[in-house]
Structure 1
C-alpha cells in the first residue's frame, strides 16, 4: 500500500507537471488564429491578382473606370501593411524569402502609389508600366504567400509534435497509475482527440485549397482516368462559359477540346489507360487551342499533373487564356516588321539617291578631267581645279553617309586580304604631306619594335581610317608635328594585334568633347567662324570601320598640347604577295582596243567615251543593256564596259544574256561600272559573268589600267602551262576586293559546281551535248572570275567540242577535269598559307 501510495503520489506529481506542459502547449496553439493568419497570407496574393486584373482591364479600355483598380490597390496596400507591421508576423518577417518578397512588393507599391493617387490622365499614361511591373511582381506575390504558408505550417507542426510528446509522457504516467482498462480508455480518448484534430485540420486544409482554387485566375479542372470532370473552379466557368453544375460529370474532351483535336485527345487518353504512356502529363506548360461553350476557339496555356487519391488516380489541369498575350505578341511583331520595312526603305532611298547624285557628279568630274587636258590659261586652270576639289569633297561626303548607312544596316563587311603596312603608310604620307606643309607641319611615320610588313586586314578600311585620322590631325595642327606609328603584338594565346597610332601636337580636344568625339556630326569646333571645315562624320566612320574589323579605337588629348588616336585591330601575319602592276608584265600594252561602252547617262557616256578615245581606243556606245546585248551578239569587241543600273535591261541581266548566248562577244572581258559595290554585290557580279570592276567617278588613269590589264586577253587561247593554273594577279586582286573569306566561299562554290558537272556528264550521250555545252560555259565563267585559268580553259574546250558534236573528245576532257582541279586546289591552298 505504501509503495502504491508512493507510486500514486509520484504519478500525481508527474501528471501535474505534464498537465502544466500540456496547458502551455495548448495555449501556444491557441495564441493566434492560424486559419486567419494563413487566410490573410493567401488573400494577399488574391488581392494582388485582383489589382492586376483591374489594371489589365483598365489598360485595354478606351475609357477606363479607375475606381475599382484604386480600391483593389488600397485593399492590397492595407493587406501588405498588415503583414509588414503586425506582431503576429514578426517572426515570419525574419525569414529571408518572405522578407525579400515583402520588401520587393513594398517597393512596387511605393513606386506605383504616386500614379494611383494622382490624376486619371497620369494614371492612364502609366498603365502600361503598371501592368508590366504587376506581371513581374506576380511571382513575387506568389512567393510571399507560399513562404508564409510554409512557415506557419512548419510552426504548427513543431507545436503539435511538442504537444504530442507531452501527451505521450502523460499517458505513460497515467498508465503506471491506473489499471489496464483505465489506461486503455485514456489512450482511446487521446486517439479520438488526435483524430478530431486531424479531421479539423484536413477540413481546414480542404477549405483553404478550395478557396485558392476558386479564387485562381487560371482555370482548374480535375478529371478521373476516364476523362470525367470531378471538379471545376470559378475561373473555368468564366473562361469556358460552362457552369460548374453542368460541367461536373461531363467528358473533358466534349467540353473544351476543339472538334478537330478530339480524335487525338481520345486516342491519347486511351493510350494512357492502356499503356500508361503520358505525353503531356507532367511535361510542363504547352500551348494549345481551347473551345468555349459558344464554339469559339482561343489559345490556352495548359499544364497537367496527376495525383493519387482513395478513389484512384486523378488529373489536375491548369489552363490559362493567353489570347491577350498572343495578340500583344502579334502587335509587337507587326511593329517590328514595320520598323524593318522603314529601315529598308531608308536604305533603298539612300542607295537610290547615291546613284542619282553620283551619276551627274561623275559626269561633272569627268568633264573637268577632260577640260584639264585642253589648253587653259592660269585663271581658268585655277577655276577648274577648285571645281574639281569641291566635286571630290562632295563625293567623299556622299561616300561617308553611305558607309554609315551600310554599317548601321549590318551590311558593312570586312574584305580581308594581305596588306603591306609600310607601303600603305608611305602612300598616305605622300598624299597628305602637302596639306601638312600648307599648315607649316611635318608628317612622318615609323615602326615601334620589329617591323611587320605584311598582315591580313581590310586595306580600304585601314586606309580610310588612317586618312581620316591624319586629315583631322592636319586640320588642327599648325607649325607642329604629326606622326603615324605601327606596332604588331602577340598575346599569350598567340593572337596578333596591329596597333596604329596617329599623334599630333595640335590644339587638342576639350575634355567635355572626348566622350562625344566619335558621334556623328560632332566637330571639335562648331562655331561659324571656325578655322577648319568638315561634316563631323569622319571619326564616326573611323569607329564603325574599326568595330567592323573587330577592333577598338581610343583617344587621349590635352588642350594646347596635342591628341593621340590609338587603333587596335586583331590580325594575323601573312606572307608577302606578288602583284604585277598596271605598267609592267602582261598588263603593259599599247594596243588600241575595240570597246563597247554600255551606259545610260548621256554625260557619263560622253566622258568615258572621250577618255577612252583620247587613249587611242575605238568606242561603240549603247544607251541600255538591251542595245548592248544586240551589239555584243553582232560584233566581236575586245572589251565591254557595262553600267550596272540602267533602264530597259540592267547591266547584270545584260551580262548574263551575253554569256549565255553564242554571240560574237560572248567570251570577251566585261567590266562593271558602278558607283558603290559591297563585297556580296561584287561576288554577284562575278557570278553573273563579269570579269572586273571600276568604280565611279571614272578617271583616265583607272580606265587606262583596266584597258591595259585586259588588252592581251584572248578567250580562244587555251595554252597554259602547269605554272599558270591560277592567275596570280587576278587571284590577289579579287581576294582583296571581296575579302579572303568570301573568296574562299566563291572558290568552294565553283568546286561544288565542277564536281556536280563531272558526276552528271561523265557518261553523256550525243543527245545531251547541247545541255552539256551550256553547263560547261556557265562554270567556265565562274572559274575565270576567281582566276582558275586552267580549269576555265579546259571547260571552254569542252564547250567548243560539245557544240561541234565531238562526243569522244568531250568524254576524254571531262575525265581529265578532276586531276586538273586537284592541282588547282593545291595551288589555291598554297597561295592562302
Structure 2
C-alpha cells in the first residue's frame, strides 16, 4: 500500500517531517563527530559538533511550534526557522568538506567530495515549500563539489574528474528540480483535497440537517393535514347513511370520493418527497382500475363542467375485469396528472376522453390507458421531452406549468416497468373531435390479475356480547368520527382524551382492544403503550393498535418496538377497522 505523502503545508505535517529529519540526522552526525574526533584536528570536530547542535535546534523548533496556540503563526515561523537552519547546516557541512579537502591535500579529496555529495543529495531531496528554500539548500553543496573537483594548481585545465563532477551535479539538480516541482504540485493537490474534504463533510452535515428538518416538516404536515381530512371523510360517510335526496346523496358521494382521492394523493406526495428515488418501491395491493378511472372522472367532472369542457370515460371492453395487483397511489397519481394536464390544455367547448383498454396475457393483464384531448397539438420534436421537468414545450408554456407533473408520471411508469408517451390523435379520433388538433397521452403496464379470496366472516352486529374498545384521542372531531363509524357495530366505546387518562381507564376497566393516537397532551400514545406493556400481567396481552396520521414506515417500526400490534391510518379506513373488530370478536369466541 502506498504511503500517504506528508502535507507540509499544514503544521502537523511540517512538524512530523522536520522532527523526523532532525532525529534521524542526529544519530548520523553523532557517529560522524566521533570519527572526526578520532582522525582529525579539534577544529574539524568542532564543525561536526556545530552540525549536531543545528539539528538539535531544528528539533527544539518543532517542540516550540507544537506549543504555539496559533497554528498558522506556528507554521509560518517553523517554515522560516527550518529554512534558516537548513542554510546554516548546509553551509557548515560544506565548510567542513573544504577543510577536509585542505587538511591533507589531494589525499582526502574523495572523502571531502563524498561529504559534499551527501549534503547535496540531502538538501536536494528535502521537501521544500518554496523555490528559494530549494536554492539555499542546493547552491552551497553544488559550488563546494565543483571547488573540490578543480585542480587548483592548474585551475583552467579541464580534467576528467572535474567534468564528471560537473555532470553529476547537473544531473542531480535536473532530476531533483523536477521532483521538487512534482512535490509542490502534490502538496497543493493534497491541500486542495483536504479543503474539499472539509467542505464536503460540512455539506454532508448540512444536508443531513436539512433532511432531518424536511422529515420533521413532512411529519407535521402529514399529521396536520390528515387530522382534519379524517373528520371531513368521517362526517361525509356518516352523511351518506342519512335520508338524503338523490342530489344530496350524489354530493355526499362526491365528497367521499374526492376526500379518498385526496388522501391517496397526499400519501403519494409525502412518500415521494421523503423517499430516496434510487430506493423507491412499489406498494402492491388489489386495485380495481375501472372503478378508479370512474372515480377520477367523477371527481374531475365538476371542474370540467365549470370550464366548459366535456370529460368522458370510454370503456373499450366492459366485460373485461380490471381487478389487478398494482400500486394504487402511483396509478391514481398518473391518471390524475394526465387528466388535469389535458383539462388545462383544452379551451371551452373542447373534449377530454379517458379510454381504458386491456388484454389478458396468462395470469397478467396488459393495461392501456389513454387520455385524449382537443387542445393544441404537440410537434414531433417536443414529444420526446414533454415528460422532462422544467423543459418547457410550446404547449406547456401556454398552460403555464413546469412539466413536473408529467415527469412524476414518467417516474411512476418506469418504477412499474411500463411505458408512457404522447402521440397525435389518430384519424378516427380527429374526425370525432371535429378535425381539431390535440394530443393523446397514454401509458401501459402489465399487472398480475387479482383473484379475490372468500370474504372474511363479517362482524356479528346482533351478538349480545359487545367488543369493549378504549380509544385514546385528543381531537374532538376525530372522536366524533370514530363514534359515528362504530355507532351500528356491537362495540362499547370508551374515550380517553390523553395517554394518561387512557392508562387510568385501562387499569380500572376491562377492554378487548385499545386504539391509541400518538400525539396527545399530558402523555403521548407511544409512552402510554410502553407503560401498558411494562405493567400488564404476565401471560396477558391486550391488542393495541395505533390510530394515527403519522404512518411513515419508520414510524410504524417504532410503534411496533414500543409494543403496538398494528397501525390504522388516518383518515380512518372503516373497512380495515371493521376487519380488525371481526378478528377481535373471532379470537374472543375461540378463547371462550
Is the Cα–Cα contact under 8 Å of residues 482 and 504 in structure 1 kept in the other structure?
Answer: yes
Alignment of 1:698 onto 2:572: yes
Question: What is the Cα-based RMSD across aligned positions, in Å?
Answer: 5.3
Partner of 1:646: 520
| Partner Cα distance (1:635, 1:676) in 2 | 28
| Partner Cα distance (1:435, 1:452) in 2 | 22
Larger RCO, structure (CA 8 Å, separation 6 or more)? 2
| Partner Cα distance (1:488, 1:519) in 2 | 34
Partner of 2:199: 331
Q: Tell me the SS of whatever aligns to 2:519.
A: coil
**Aligned ranges for residues 485-496 of structure 1 at < 5 Å?**
485-487=357-359
Partner of 1:461: 330
Is the Cα–Cα contact under 8 Å of residues 625 and 654 in structure 1 kept in the other structure?
Answer: yes
**Aligned ranges for residues 126-165 of structure 1 at < 5 Å?**
none
Change in Cα spacing, 1:441 to 1:369, as seen in structure 2 (3 Å) is: closer
Q: Tell me the SS of whatever aligns to 1:673.
A: strand
Change in Cα spacing, 1:601 to 1:411, as seen in structure 2 (3 Å) is: farther
Is the Cα–Cα contact under 8 Å of residues 594 and 637 in structure 1 kept in the other structure?
Answer: yes
| Partner Cα distance (2:444, 2:353) in 1 | 19
| Partner Cα distance (1:371, 1:539) in 2 | 36
Alignment of 1:237 onto 2:109: no
Q: Tell me the SS of whatever aligns to 1:414.
A: coil
1:360 equivalent among 204, 228, 248: 228
**Aligned ranges for residues 343-358 of structure 1 at < 5 Å?**
343-358=211-226
2:368 equivalent among 493, 501, 506: 501
Deviations 1:764-800 (A, max 9, x none): xxxxxxxxxxxxxxxxxxxxxxxxxxxxxxxxxxxxx
Deviations 1:470-515 (A, max 9, x none): 676788696775322335779xxxxx99753212443156326743
2:422 equivalent among 555, 560, 564: 555
| Partner Cα distance (2:505, 2:119) in 1 | 82
- How far 1:685 moved relative to its partner? 3.9
Change in Cα spacing, 1:562 to 1:432, as seen in structure 2 (3 Å) is: same
1:545 equivalent among 412, 419, 442: 412
Change in Cα spacing, 1:637 to 1:500, as seen in structure 2 (3 Å) is: same
Change in Cα spacing, 1:614 to 1:248, as seen in structure 2 (3 Å) is: farther
| Partner Cα distance (1:707, 1:522) in 2 | 52
Change in Cα spacing, 1:590 to 1:644, as seen in structure 2 (3 Å) is: farther
| Partner Cα distance (2:247, 2:452) in 1 | 44
2:288 equivalent among 424, 435, 444: 424
Q: Tell me the SS of whatever aligns to 1:346.
A: helix
| Partner Cα distance (1:465, 1:335) in 2 | 35
Q: Tell me the SS of whatever aligns to 1:443.
A: strand
User: How many residues get paired?
Assistant: 414
| TM-score, normalization by structure 2 | 0.54
Is the Cα–Cα contact under 8 Å of residues 485 and 500 in structure 1 kept in the other structure?
Answer: yes
Alignment of 1:565 onto 2:442: yes
- How far 1:567 moved relative to its partner? 3.4
Deviations 1:197-231 (A, max 9, x none): xxxxxxxxxxxxxxxxxxxxxxxxxx99xx98824
Partner of 2:312: 441
Partner of 2:469: 595
- How far 1:524 moved relative to its partner? 10
- How far 1:594 moved relative to its partner? 1.0
Change in Cα spacing, 1:233 to 1:601, as seen in structure 2 (3 Å) is: farther
Is the Cα–Cα contact under 8 Å of residues 633 and 663 in structure 1 kept in the other structure?
Answer: no
The answer for unaligned runs of 5 or more in structure 2 is 1-113, 142-170, 426-435
**Aligned ranges for residues 268-279 of structure 1 at < 5 Å?**
none
Deviations 1:385-422 (A, max 9, x none): 787677667656644542441346766432346x5xxx
Change in Cα spacing, 1:716 to 1:664, as seen in structure 2 (3 Å) is: farther
Change in Cα spacing, 1:553 to 1:639, as seen in structure 2 (3 Å) is: same
| Partner Cα distance (1:460, 1:446) in 2 | 24
Q: Tell me the SS of whatever aligns to 1:441.
A: strand
Q: Tell me the SS of whatever aligns to 1:511.
A: coil
| Partner Cα distance (1:523, 1:691) in 2 | 51
Is the Cα–Cα contact under 8 Å of residues 519 and 525 in structure 2 kept in the other structure?
Answer: yes
- How far 1:595 moved relative to its partner? 0.7
Is the Cα–Cα contact under 8 Å of residues 294 and 313 in structure 2 kept in the other structure?
Answer: no
- How far 1:452 moved relative to its partner? 11
Deviations 1:700-747 (A, max 9, x none): 5554343234322239839xxxxxxxxxxxxxxxxxxxxxxxxxxxxx
| Partner Cα distance (1:374, 1:587) in 2 | 22
| Partner Cα distance (1:691, 1:404) in 2 | 26
1:677 equivalent among 537, 551, 554: 551
| Partner Cα distance (1:234, 1:539) in 2 | 63
| TM-score, normalization by structure 1 | 0.40
Alignment of 1:483 onto 2:355: yes
Change in Cα spacing, 1:473 to 1:501, as seen in structure 2 (3 Å) is: farther
| Partner Cα distance (2:198, 2:582) in 1 | 59
Alignment of 1:623 onto 2:497: yes
Q: Tell me the SS of whatever aligns to 2:330.
A: helix
| Partner Cα distance (1:509, 1:408) in 2 | 36
Is the Cα–Cα contact under 8 Å of residues 625 and 648 in structure 1 kept in the other structure?
Answer: yes
- How far 1:355 moved relative to its partner? 1.1
Deviations 1:511-541 (A, max 9, x none): 267434564899998899x9xx999875444
Alignment of 1:609 onto 2:483: yes
Change in Cα spacing, 1:372 to 1:414, as seen in structure 2 (3 Å) is: closer
The answer for unaligned runs of 5 or more in structure 1 is 1-222, 251-308, 491-495, 719-833
| Partner Cα distance (1:371, 1:664) in 2 | 44
- How far 1:623 moved relative to its partner? 2.3
Change in Cα spacing, 1:469 to 1:337, as seen in structure 2 (3 Å) is: same
| Partner Cα distance (2:290, 2:569) in 1 | 24
Q: Tell me the SS of whatever aligns to 2:444.
A: strand
